[in-house]
Structure 1
């Protein structure tokens, strides 16, 4: 895998940094977003959240 690629999935550490929150809150947000995605019929990865979906839900713009 090319390390220069921007990851399409974010881990808790990424969510922590992006939202300036603690680890437990980051995992809580990831779980909630993954439940939302699962109810829409998408497959999810535990402990990871699609970057695009997180940015959409938090109304954040790409830097």
Structure 2
């Protein structure tokens, strides 16, 4: 996957080994979290940075250093 600003359901499906439909479900869920925090979201796309923080915990790992 290229390092773009946003990730799509197809990319999520490939990276996580899930269906594209589940990728869309995950995008909706995480975009709703971002909306609650006051961020602007794009339907069908998700911030790659937020995806990696929520799925892989990259933010927590960086704070431990």
- TM-score range for the pair, normalised by the shorter chain length: 0.7 to 0.9
Stretches of structure 1 that go unaligned for 5 or more consecutive residues are: none
Is residue 30 from structure 1 mapped to residue 60 from structure 2 by the alignment?
A: no
Please state which structure has a larger fraction of its residues in helix: 2
TM-score (norm: length of structure 2): 0.80
TM-score (norm: length of structure 1): 0.83
Stretches of structure 2 that go unaligned for 5 or more consecutive residues are: 59-65
Partner of 2:36: 39
Query: How large is the RMSD of aligned CA atoms in angstroms?
Result: 1.5
- 1:23–1:10 distance in 2 versus 1, CA, 3 Å: same
**Which aligned runs of 4 or more in structure 1 are off by greater than 6 angstroms?**
none
Q: 1: distance between equivalents of 2:39 and 2:33?
A: 9
Name the structure, 1 or 2, with higher relative contact order (CA <8 Å, separation 6+).
1
